């Protein structure tokens, strides 16, 4: 709980709306996500990061009852996987996608970006849904796909300053080409005159997936709602971004107050998407 509260406060808040007996498993998933997302910050070269990801692959794939023993997060995660019969292949796909984070290769295309988001944020939503209601969750896998893409792209936009400082470009190369720039130019200095157009294109892509999610969300059962709750904040983040100029986006000057985040989650938890 402390890990998720500190590293991923939006998902922490959403987990509080889940039934009490499901929260430990959700928090284990979200803490795992936070742990893997932070690997890049704790390494100087990619190889140690790959070794760390492989350690997690081995732990998750193991049938040994003591897999991950001594690591509280690994113990909690493997317990959740066993209790809720979560598909281990989804974790393997997630870790494979996260290998991209360890390197400075540019994101090749929109399709690649959507694939990355699908294996990471979308998979996390679907895994949370399987914890909450395994009978209903499979019906909403496509919805989770759109939800995760919207959430992940908004998150990448919020992290633009960090990624640019590292020399990482998650904005797809084909989008950059379409707006008249390139990964090196986007990463240099103020991003060049096309930086704002690139950010606007990313916002539009996230909003496209958010709209696709919202078109199907009215039939989302209340039992699955906590897995999708962060989308209430994604919508607000994107609305705020769309009102900002390129300089604000590239500097990371987009925030929601704690009060607004609590209110948005409370309202969405109560009424769903209608």
Domain boundaries, the chain: 2-271
Greater confidence, 265 or 255?
Answer: 265
Q: CA 65, 68, 72, 76 torsion: positive or negative?
A: negative
User: Measured between alpha carbons, how far is residue 99 from residues 48, 119, 120, 264 in Å?
Assistant: 11, 12, 11, 33
Per residue in 185-208, pLDDT (tens digit) is 999 888 888 988 999 999 999 999
pLDDT over 90 (residue 1): no
Q: How far is CA 40 from CA 52, 98, 213, in A?
A: 10, 10, 30
- What is the model's pTM? 0.95
Q: Give the residue, 255 or 268, on which the prediction is more confident.
A: 268
pLDDT at residue 250 is higher than 90: no
CATH of 2-271, one of 1.20.1270.30, 1.10.600.10, 1.10.10.10, 3.40.50.300: 1.10.600.10
* Sign of the four-CA dihedral 92, 97, 103, 105: positive
pLDDT range class, residue 215, cuts 50, 70, 90:
very high
Percent of the chain exceeding pLDDT 90 equals 80
What is the greatest pairwise CA distance in the chain? 56
Neighbours of 75 (CB within 10 A): 16
Q: How far apart are CA 183 and CA 168, in angstroms?
A: 9
């Amino acid at each position: 709980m402390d890990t998720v509260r500190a590293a991923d406060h939006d998902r922490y808040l959403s987990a509080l709306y889940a039934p009490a007996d499901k929260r430990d498993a959700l928090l284990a998933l979200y803490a795992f996500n936070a742990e893997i997302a932070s690997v890049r910050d704790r390494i100087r070269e990619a190889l140690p990061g790959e070794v760390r990801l492989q350690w997690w692959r081995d732990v998750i794939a193991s049938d040994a009852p003591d897999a991950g023993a001594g690591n509280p997060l690994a113990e909690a995660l493997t317990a959740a996987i066993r209790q809720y019969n979560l598909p281990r292949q989804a974790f393997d796909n997630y870790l494979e996608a996260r290998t991209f984070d360890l390197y400075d290769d540019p994101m090749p295309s929109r399709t690649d970006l959507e694939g990355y988001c699908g294996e990471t944020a979308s998979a996390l939503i679907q895994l949370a849904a399987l914890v909450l209601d395994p009978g209903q969750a499979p019906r909403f896998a496509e919805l989770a796909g759109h939800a995760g893409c919207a959430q992940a792209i908004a998150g990448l936009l919020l992290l633009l300053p960090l990624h640019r400082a590292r020399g990482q470009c998650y904005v797809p190369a084909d989008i950059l080409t379409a707006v008249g720039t390139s990964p090196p130019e986007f990463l240099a200095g103020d991003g060049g005159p096309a930086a704002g157009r690139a950010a606007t294109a990313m916002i539009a892509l996230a909003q496209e997936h958010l709209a696709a999610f919202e078109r199907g969300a009215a039939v989302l059962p209340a039992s699955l709602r906590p897995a999708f709750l962060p989308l209430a904040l994604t919508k607000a983040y994107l609305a705020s971004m769309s009102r900002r100029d390129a300089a604000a986006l590239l500097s990371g000057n987009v925030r929601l107050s704690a009060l607004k985040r609590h209110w948005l989650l409370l309202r969405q938890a109560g009424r769903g998407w209608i």
